Amino acid sequence: MPSPNVHLEHIEDEIFNNGIDGARASINFIRSLRDMLSSGSSKSTNITVKWDGAPAIWCGTNPESGNFFVAKKSLFRKTGPLFYESIKEIEDSEDLSATLKDKFKACYTNLKDLGFTDILQGDLMFIKGDLEKKKINKEDYETFTPNTITYAVPSTSKLASSMRKANLGIVFHTTYTGDSLSNLKASFGADISGLKSSSKVWMDNAEYNDVSGTATLTKKDTAELTRLMSRTGKLFAKIKKPALDAFLKTQNEMDAGMSYKTYHNSKVRAGENFLRLNYKKHADGYFKFVEEKWDAKIDKLKSDSAKQTKTKNKNIYLTKVRKQISTLKLLVEFQALINYSKIKLLSKINKAKQLTDMFVKKDNGFDVVAPEGFVAIDNNLGGAVKLVDRMEFSLNNFTVQKDWDK
């Protein structure tokens, strides 16, 4: 089965995902984005906006049957693709909740006659009934909250008018091609210009456009990023491939929930500021994290023999982690430098005027936020990473109450 485009990785995590190659790719992405925002163009990198929609929708023409279909990520399940080519199949599905059935029926009914030739993946933003009138900061808006971010469009605008007429709103971002559903190949980007226009559907692609011309690096910004990348490159030279490979091998052998990335995300949830990161303390904290995870597993066991076996395994892995802490300190510093460069770039990219205003609902009202993030696409190699301010969106994503049905 093909791999669904369901989870992009943070650019600063690529060294933990793909080792030396991932580290090199993250450096190249930062350099390319720097050059793009300095000169206004880049042949090697493209940026798309990450819309915070839900659920993810796959739709298009089934290359085997020739029929229009809709699906969620179970299109790529190991036991065979699950998809829907009729309203009856959606209604009879045991894989969809009642709420999701309403969403999928809206997608099937309103998208099937738009003339799809390829298969597109998009994020559903709203269906009829999801739009709400709200007054935010003394302005009247049409709003929708598909996931974490509340998107707000001034009520008197043409965009609000078109959304009110629509039965659904969707943003497409990925294209799939292939002669069967079992061998689909994904490519980032979605050309919707060939689809028929319909007042029943508000749709957009995710292309990033700086119509205001404000997302441009100054000479000072460019010089600062160049210095950061020089420091990152020197650190990269200190990271030895055998040591990194050994660390990643240990990570792959770990029980679920003990990985460094799980540990790092737990710190994001706690709201720690990684722009002021103490690399040594963060790396040492991982050892304690692994030790506590093992102790929790052992405490749940009832027999002494089972506890002794688990304790032996615990000591083996703690010994490995202890020996690898010096390597992890370098990796944490590398991750932090890539993250710092990313935040510098995002501070410029976020200045571009977006299609809608964006807020996050709090107990006492709404806070203004930036987009969920952006996707940097390598036009030459086809890879992509996400650019997200984890201290804003990821924390909100972990902590804001969700109203939609997963």
292-332 pLDDT, tens digit each: 999 999 999 999 999 999 999 999 999 999 999 999 999 99
Q: How confident is the model at residue 392, as a pLDDT?
A: 65
DSSP for residue 301:
-
- What is the mean predicted confidence (pLDDT) over 28-50? 80
Helix axes 219-238, 325-349, angle to 10 degrees: 160
Provide the strand spans (E) within 221-380. Answer: 357-362, 365-368, 373-378
Residue 405 has pLDDT above 60, yes or no: no
In whole angstroms, what is the distance from residue 290 CA to residue 263 CA?
9
- Segment 162-199, tens digit of pLDDT: 999 999 999 999 999 999 998 999 988 899 999 999 99
Q: Tokens 């929790």 correspond to what residue?
A: 296
Phi, psi values for residue 188, rounded to 5°: -70, 140
> What confidence tier does 270 reach under pLDDT thresholds 50, 70, 90?
confident
Residue 103 has pLDDT above 80, yes or no: yes
- What is the mean predicted confidence (pLDDT) over 61-69? 97
Answer yes or no: are the C-beta atoms of 126 and 167 closer than 8 Å.
no
Residue 135 has pLDDT above 60, yes or no: yes
Residue 155 has pLDDT above 80, yes or no: yes
- What is the mean predicted confidence (pLDDT) over 287-293? 96
Q: How confident is the model at residue 207, as a pLDDT?
A: 83
- What is the mean predicted confidence (pLDDT) over 279-287? 94
> What confidence tier does 132 reach under pLDDT thresholds 50, 70, 90?
very high
- Segment 325-368, tens digit of pLDDT: 999 999 999 999 999 999 999 888 887 767 788 888 877 777 77
Q: How confident is the model at residue 3, as a pLDDT?
A: 53
Q: What is the mean pLDDT of the chain?
A: 89
Phi, psi values for residue 245, rounded to 5°: -60, -40
Q: Which residue has the higher pLDDT, 204 or 378?
A: 204
Q: How confident is the model at residue 339, as a pLDDT?
A: 93
Residue 273 has pLDDT above 80, yes or no: no
Under 8 Å CB-to-CB from 173, ≥6 apart: which residues?
A: 48, 51, 121, 122, 123, 188, 189, 190, 205, 206, 375
Q: How confident is the model at residue 269, as a pLDDT?
A: 83
Q: Checking DSSP bridges between strand 384-387 and strand 132-136, what pairing results, if any? A: unpaired
Of 73, 110, 112, nearest in space to 95 by CA: 73
pTM of the model: 0.76
> What confidence tier does 88 reach under pLDDT thresholds 50, 70, 90?
very high
> What confidence tier does 403 reach under pLDDT thresholds 50, 70, 90?
very low
Of 39, 44, 27, nearest in space to 229 by CA: 27
DSSP for residue 76:
G
Q: How confident is the model at residue 396, as a pLDDT?
A: 56
- What is the mean predicted confidence (pLDDT) over 215-236? 92
Q: How confident is the model at residue 8, as a pLDDT?
A: 79
Phi, psi values for residue 52, rounded to 5°: -90, 65
> What confidence tier does 46 reach under pLDDT thresholds 50, 70, 90?
confident
> What confidence tier does 7 reach under pLDDT thresholds 50, 70, 90?
low
In whole angstroms, what is the distance from residue 24 CA to residue 276 CA?
24
